[in-house]
Amino acid sequence: MSEIVLDGVTKVFDDGYEAVKDMNLDIGDGEFMILVGPSGCGKSTALRMIAGLEDISSGELKIDDEVVNDRSPKDRDIAMVFQNYALYPHMTVRENMGFALKLAKVDKEEIDRKVSDAAATLDLTKHLDRRPANLSGGQRQRVAMGRAIVRDPKVFLMDEPLSNLDAKLRVQMRTEVARLQSDLKTTMVYVTHDQTEAMTLGDRVAVMRAGVLQQVGSPGDLYSRPRNLFVAGFIGSPAMNFMIGQIDGGKLKLPIGEVDAAGVAGAEHDGRVIVGIRPQNFEDATIVGEAKEERGIIFEADIDLLESLGSDLYAYFHVETEGIQSDQLADLVASRLEETGAAGLREGQEQVVARLEPTSEVRRGQKAQLWADTAKLHLFDAESGERLGE
């Protein structure tokens, strides 16, 4: 049994910066909880407070119903994997993994046995007598995990453990982490800025922004019912598209056409809304079946750019819409602009990404008939950015 409860946990640094604001989170026994958010959102600080490496300014942190605010890291029975591994360079892999047990005065045979077991699980047996300097990035990463698992702690904390690996290794280690957690059934808190990692690994995902917890839920939950603009824009890849819509007399007017508001969740009241639509909810109108065609709209778009990934085809086009003013989206938009290089858009235009079937015949620089699934629209309050409707 090892349950973690954060009750109004707040972190204010000496310079007055509030890194984590009134965080409430229950992490169940054996649960794999992901803290995700852009850099500087306070996720690492939250993790470090759980570890005891950072003081808690106010609020309570409980592990197994015991308040541990004032306990030092060594008395919390937690293991942590650091972003840069933090292996002890003067010790061999074996000594690195056994260090915690040695400090705990476990007898030598027991240490040897546990280290060998963990090494076997992580495929490190051959490397036990080498030093970290002589290991590859992936091996170091595994040693860091091995150091955590030999202890059989109450809780595993992982601070972006995969961010230093190259893309291929990262995917491989991701499955490794998932396997480990399901084998060990130990409570795990995992911090990442990568929403793909968050979606694929976690039982539940907690999205943070600017020190505030935005939404906690299963990956599916976050994807299909994001609570606000930030979560909507952060979860999902490519990210959700946003445009301004106007509800007027039972009609929802969008830059790409007009929809019957009755069929859209949250469109009860007249007024301006921000409308989100995922790239997956577009299709080439010439391909989409008739059955689907009925619950959507067909519109014409100038295709600016096409990206073919083989299995998917991403079409970039733009719509005429007034600028979306929301600080929730500000940082997301900035980072997305970097990724997609959507420079060259004039004021009053928003870039939209559509995922199409690879068989589609749309061409770059030409007009194309696209279909949008209006049953899957997400509506957000234009002022607060909160989700409208269920």
Least distance CB 298 / other proteins (angstroms)? 51
User: What is the full DSSP assignment across 104-141?
Assistant: TT--HHHHHHHHHHHHHHHT-GGGTTS-GGGS-HHHHH
Which one of residues 21, 28, 69, 100 is an interface residue with other proteins (CB under 8 A)? 100
Which one of residues 53, 297, 305, 306 is an interface residue with other proteins (CB under 8 A)? 53
Least distance CB 338 / other proteins (angstroms)? 23
Q: How many residues contact other proteins, by CB under 8 A?
A: 32
**Interface of this chain with other proteins, residues 78 to 97, rule: CB under 8 A:** 78-80, 82, 84-90
Residue 237, SS3 per DSSP: coil
Across the chain, the runs of DSSP E, i.e. the strands, are 4-12, 18-27, 32-36, 58-63, 66-67, 78-81, 155-159, 187-192, 204-209, 212-217, 241-248, 251-254, 257-260, 271-277, 282-284, 296-308, 313-320, 349-356, 367-373, 378-381
Q: Give me 204's structure tokens.
A: 């539940």
Least distance CB 173 / other proteins (angstroms)? 14
Which one of residues 104, 120, 262, 337 is an interface residue with other proteins (CB under 8 A)? 104
Which one of residues 16, 66, 103, 294 is an interface residue with other proteins (CB under 8 A)? 103
Please give the Cα distance from 208 to 300 (Å, whole number).
37
Q: List the beta bridge partners of residue 35.
A: 191, 206
Please give the Cα distance from 217 to 226 (Å, whole number).
9
Decide whether 80 or 210 has the Cβ nearer to other proteins. Answer: 80
**Interface of this chain with other proteins, residues 9 to 48, rule: CB under 8 A:** 14
Decide whether 58 or 134 has the Cβ nearer to other proteins. Answer: 134
**Interface of this chain with other proteins, residues 56 to 75, rule: CB under 8 A:** 72-74
Please give the Cα distance from 320 to 350 (Å, whole number).
7
Decide whether 127 or 318 has the Cβ nearer to other proteins. Answer: 127
Please give the Cα distance from 121 to 146 (Å, whole number).
9
Least distance CB 145 / other proteins (angstroms)? 13
Rounded (5°) CA angle 296-302-304: 120
Decide whether 131 or 376 has the Cβ nearer to other proteins. Answer: 131
**Interface of this chain with other proteins, residues 197 to 236, rule: CB under 8 A:** none
Q: Cα–Cα distances in Å, from 354 out to 33, 164, 252, 332, 379?
A: 31, 31, 20, 18, 18
Amino acid at 128: L
Task: Point out which span in 35-43, 51-59, 187-195, 209-217 binds other proteins (CB under 8 A).
Answer: 51-59
49 binds other proteins (CB under 8 A): no
**Interface of this chain with other proteins, residues 112 to 171, rule: CB under 8 A:** 131-135, 137, 140, 147, 151, 164
Sites of contact with other proteins (CB under 8 A) = 14, 51-53, 72-74, 78-80, 82, 84-90, 99-100, 103-104, 131-135, 137, 140, 147, 151, 164
